[in-house]
Amino acid sequence: MYKTIAIQTRSTYWSNKESNEELIVDSVDLAQEVEKICNKLETEGYEPILITPITSGSMSNGNGYYQTASILITAKKKV
């Protein structure tokens, strides 16, 4: 049996003279969420086997960029 969980990333804005506002992923927060979910899966008898980033593209003031929009964690039930 498999279980997949999606974690939505939280982003923060920071100001930059050249491009006004830029969106950045809060990687510290994301790492903490991934760790928390993996530990929870472990206590439920699942072993995380795959962590997949889902990216999303955007345009900001004529500049294109990609960011991690979410993370999928797939786990397999231990036997």
List pLDDT tens digits, range 13-45: 555 555 555 567 788 888 999 999 999 999 999
Q: Quote the pTM value.
A: 0.76
E strands, 17-77, where?
Answer: 20-25, 46-60, 63-77
11 has a pLDDT exceeding 90: no
User: What pLDDT does 10 receive?
Assistant: 79
Query: What are the boundaries of each domain within the chain?
Result: 2-77
User: What pLDDT does 66 receive?
Assistant: 75
37's tokens = 């979910």
Query: How many helices (H) and strands (E) would you count in the chain?
Result: 1, 5
